[in-house]
Structure 1
Amino acid sequence: MDKMSINVFAKWQVKEGQLHAVLELMKVVAGKSREEEGNLFYKIHQSTQDANTLLLYEGYKSEAAVEVHRNATYFQELVIGQVVPMLENREVVVAKEIDGI
């Protein structure tokens, strides 16, 4: 991975009864995210212990690419406008790899 790349780790706790709706919206979000010039990858995982826990693992070429992603119209409308209200909790960590470890 490029030393300048930025990774986003997100843990979402979906409200009971909202998982199907969230996953349907995330199909669209994932597809649009992967089309972004600065996106390296966009992966969504589901906990084996709790189906309502989703983990997102995203890679971007730079911090600027993360900002482009977050400011995209589809992100604001779908994630912020529709998905976030269906979550109990949302934790997001933006990180870069530690060189040499």
Structure 2
Amino acid sequence: MNTESVYVFAKWQVKEGQLDVVLELLQEVAAKSREEDGNLFYNLHQSKQDANTLLLYEGYISEAAVEVHRNSVYFQELVIGKIVPLLQNREVVVAAQI
């Protein structure tokens, strides 16, 4: 298993009229993510050109920590269950620093 730090870059395009709901849910996700043992940081950004475009930049101690994050109850309930249906598009890239 790879124990190098892993970084997640996500670009979310929120459906028109759903931004406030997504931002509220995302604050809870961010707080819970930052509490995880394997989390290095969880940063949220909003495009200046299009308020409905959100960028997430996350750091984890390992690939295993990313899996723990993705399989957590809150991630499944909040992100997969509540946020994803409010998104027009969702792109996620998992990367290692070079």
TM bin, normalised by shorter chain, reads over 0.9
Partner of 2:94: 94
In the aligned structure 1, how far is the partner of 2:44 from the partner of 2:84? 16
- State the distance in 2 between where 1:31 and 1:15 align: 23
Normalised by the length of structure 1, the TM-score is 0.94
Partner of 1:34: 34
User: What CA distance in whole angstroms lies between the structure 1 residues aligned with 2:64 and 2:73?
Assistant: 16
What is the identity percentage for the equivalent residue pairs of Structure 1 and Structure 2? Answer: 76
Moved over 4 A (4+): none
Q: Distance in 2 between matches of 1:27 and 1:46?
A: 13
Could you list the runs of 5+ residues in structure 2 that have no partner in the other structure? none
Q: Distance in 2 between matches of 1:89 and 1:76?
A: 18
Listed one character per residue, the Cα deviations across residues 48-94 of structure 1 (whole Å, up to 9, x for unaligned) are 00000000000000000000000000000000000000000000000
Tell me, in whole angstroms, the C-alpha distance in 2 between the residues paired with 1:28 and 1:56: 14
Correspondence 1:43 to 2:43:
yes
Task: Return the TM-score normalized by structure 2.
Answer: 0.97
Q: What's the Cα RMSD here?
A: 0.9
The count of corresponding residues between Structure 1 and Structure 2 is 96
